[in-house]
Amino acid sequence: MEMKQICKGVKLCTHQTDKFKTARLSFSFITSLGRHTSANSLVVHLLSATNSKYKTISEMNRKLASLYGATLSCNVSKCGDMQVLSLILTAIDDRFTFENERICKDCVELLCECVFRPNVSPDGFFAEDVNREKRLLIEKIEAEKDDKRAYAFSRLIEEMCSEEAYGLNKFGKIEEIEKLTEKELFTRWMRLIVNSPVQINYVGSADPQIIEEAVLPYFVSLQRKDILVVKTDFITSAHEENTIREKQNVKQGKLVIGWRAGMTYDRDNFPALKLMNMLFGGGTFSKLFTNVREKMSLCYYCSSQLIASKGLLVVQSGVETENTEKALIAIKNELEEIKKGNFSQETLRNAKLSYCDTLKSIYDNSGAIDSWMLSYSVDSVYYSPEKLCELINAVSKEEIIVAASLITLDTVYILEGEKEEE
């Protein structure tokens, strides 16, 4: 993996390989979560739908189809208090076209046109496009409620981080999206391309030089300046425990628990905390899987994750409503066990083995390489998967116990099924 600054606030990360049959190019704006979150996410959806050359959905889709089913999608995600707005293009390698057509350059050009040459007039984006994308984005936000597991998770984050930027929905708020004007969106787009940090990732067989040469002229003509500084606030410990209960007509209840992990920045104590999370609920050898799920048969799923970009530890589980309290006690108990050091050197060794195995396999998937390059270089410290594996292997049992001792319970979210009436 190679990384270089190609112009003010613009990083190009590339991984040249011919082992994949496809190439993947992603273009990400990195911005702060806050008052522009809704507008930013609508802009990136607009950019991925059409551009000044392919002005309608059909024209754009036919162009992509003729490039052998190239895909163009947008992805909005949160990384700490940052909102990451990505446009992602994937296409098959030139080697596999029917008649040796060269499609790689066309694809890079197409993505650049989407970012820098949207379908706009001096008055802004067109109402027809804006209205369509507004509706689609709002329906996407609404659809999040239908997946109860994801819904319960996002409700926990919303409640737990209600005073922080991280508590915002990554797509923004429906009421705000409804009010955005064509002109405002145009200004937002300008701000993104001129002022926000950008990261471009490429994984594929082409010479990275081709990507740089194709992209650079667009930036040069922009005169980028006042590059936005993005950073994340970390709350190291919880003030008091909060419990939120909701009722819905569901057959299976959900229990989601959030802790502050004691981190002061995203790499703070990361290897020890990562391992502590794995022992707690991050795999089939974990305490949550073997005890709460298998031995006690309390839930269908019960796992934990460390959100290092914000210093949070979260457990998600699906439980029968009448078992909720039992499960909550059992889960808290397992964390106490780790704090007491009640885990074997062998389990720790297995956790290291399992995580390092996963780290190596990143190189076998172009999407995983892309995400790795993005998430590990949005901020200052970059680790290669090999480097992180070394750090993981150096962690001792004592370091894990110390890391666990800094974890404090913040919020419990419970989604209960309503009693069936009849």
The conformation of residue 394, written as its DSSP 8-state character, comes to T
Cβ-based nearer residue to other proteins, 68 or 218: 68
Cβ-based nearer residue to other proteins, 35 or 245: 245
Residue closest to 374 by CA, chosen among 43, 84, 23: 84
Instruction: Give contact residues for other proteins (rule: CB under 8 A).
Output: 17, 19-22, 56-58, 61-62, 64-70, 90-92, 96, 98, 128, 132, 135-136, 139-140, 142-143, 145-149, 248-252, 283-285, 289, 293, 297, 299-301, 318-320, 347, 350, 353-354, 356-358, 360-361, 363-366
CB of 1 to other proteins, least distance (A): 14
Residues whose CB falls within 8 Å of the CB of residue 309, separated by 6 or more in sequence, listed in order: 78, 79, 80, 82, 232, 266, 375
CB of 108 to other proteins, least distance (A): 17
State residue 28 phi and psi, 5-degree precision: -120, 135
What are all long-range contacts of 61-69, with beta carbons under 8 Å and residues at least 24 apart? 63/110, 64/110, 67/91, 67/103, 67/106, 67/107, 67/110, 68/92, 68/96, 68/97, 68/103
CB of 310 to other proteins, least distance (A): 26
Cβ-based nearer residue to other proteins, 226 or 386: 386
Cβ-based nearer residue to other proteins, 133 or 379: 133
Cβ-based nearer residue to other proteins, 139 or 398: 139
Between CA 347 and CA 353 the distance in angstroms is 10
Cβ-based nearer residue to other proteins, 8 or 148: 148
CB of 262 to other proteins, least distance (A): 27
CB of 60 to other proteins, least distance (A): 9
State residue 198 phi and psi, 5-degree precision: -130, 140
CB of 186 to other proteins, least distance (A): 21
Q: Is 328 left (phi over 0), alpha (psi -120 to 50) or beta?
A: alpha
Q: Which two tokens stand for residue 111?
A: 């993505």
CB of 396 to other proteins, least distance (A): 19
Sign of CA dihedral 123, 125, 129, 133: negative
What is the maximal distance between C-alpha atoms in the chain? 69
Cβ-based nearer residue to other proteins, 91 or 261: 91
